[in-house]
């Protein structure tokens, strides 16, 4: 939709009288967006919902970006994330007259080695391992995950000898 307003530029009242009227495009909307996170990433809730609310109106597109190359474009203003870090959103209306951005930090109370080990488990066929005792049953790999050795609360070694792991480790 194109929007114009009228502005009287000149008005002469004489015998011939003339009025000059110009049409000018509407001013862009005042743009703002808030971005909130439903919760931090935790063992009891491994995802967080980000919600963007914008002052822009009409048809809106939301571009979300975050850690590990996370990008999602949608028209709902809502997205689920499964990692912690700083996420951003940019909202734009179809006319391009309203653009706004904001960021939010999604925290995590997970063990610092948890996600890497879950990725290892999933990429090497963890559900089919010969011994998967403790894996994925709790969020602390230092509390009984088979093959894991920890020192001062951090994973220091991983031993999976003859455990039927198959896959690519990236």
The domain total for the chain is 2
Instruction: Please indicate, yes or no, whether residues 100 and 119 belong to a single structural domain of this protein.
Output: no
Q: Which domain holds residue 141?
A: 114-158
CA-based R_g, the chain, Å: 28
Query: Residue 170: its pLDDT value, please?
Result: 67
Instruction: Please indicate, yes or no, whether residues 121 and 78 belong to a single structural domain of this protein.
Output: no
63 assigned to some structural domain? yes
Total-model pTM: 0.69
Instruction: Please indicate, yes or no, whether residues 46 and 91 belong to a single structural domain of this protein.
Output: yes
127 assigned to some structural domain? yes
Q: What is the C-alpha separation between 41 and 85, in angstroms, rounded?
A: 10
Per-residue pLDDT tens digits of the chain, which is 170 residues long: 444 433 444 444 444 455 444 444 555 567 899 999 999 999 889 999 999 999 998 899 999 999 999 999 999 999 999 999 999 999 999 988 999 999 999 999 999 999 899 989 999 999 999 999 999 888 899 999 999 999 999 999 999 888 877 877 76
Instruction: Please indicate, yes or no, whether residues 139 and 76 belong to a single structural domain of this protein.
Output: no
Instruction: Please indicate, yes or no, whether residues 97 and 122 belong to a single structural domain of this protein.
Output: no
44 assigned to some structural domain? yes
71 assigned to some structural domain? yes
Q: Which residues of 13-25 are buried (b: 16+ CB within 10 A; e: fewer)?
A: eeeeeeeeeeeee
């Amino acid at each position: 939709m194109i929007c114009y307003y009228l502005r009287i530029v000149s008005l002469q009242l004489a015998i011939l009288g003339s009025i000059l009227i110009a049409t000018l495009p509407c001013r862009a909307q005042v743009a703002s967006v808030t971005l909130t996170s439903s919760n931090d990433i935790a063992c009891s809730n491994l995802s967080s919902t980000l919600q963007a609310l914008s002052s822009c109106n009409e048809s809106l597109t939301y571009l979300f970006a975050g850690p590990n190359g996370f990008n999602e474009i949608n028209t709902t203003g809502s997205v689920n994330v499964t990692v912690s870090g700083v996420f951003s959103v940019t909202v734009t209306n179809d006319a391009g007259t309203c653009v706004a951005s904001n960021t939010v930090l999604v925290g995590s109370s997970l063990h610092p080695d948890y996600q890497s080990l879950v990725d290892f488990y999933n990429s090497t066929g963890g559900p089919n391992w010969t011994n998967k005792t403790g894996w994925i049953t709790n969020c602390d790999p230092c509390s009984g995950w088979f093959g894991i050795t920890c020192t001062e609360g951090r994973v220091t070694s991983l031993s999976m000898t003859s455990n039927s792991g198959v896959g690519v480790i990236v």
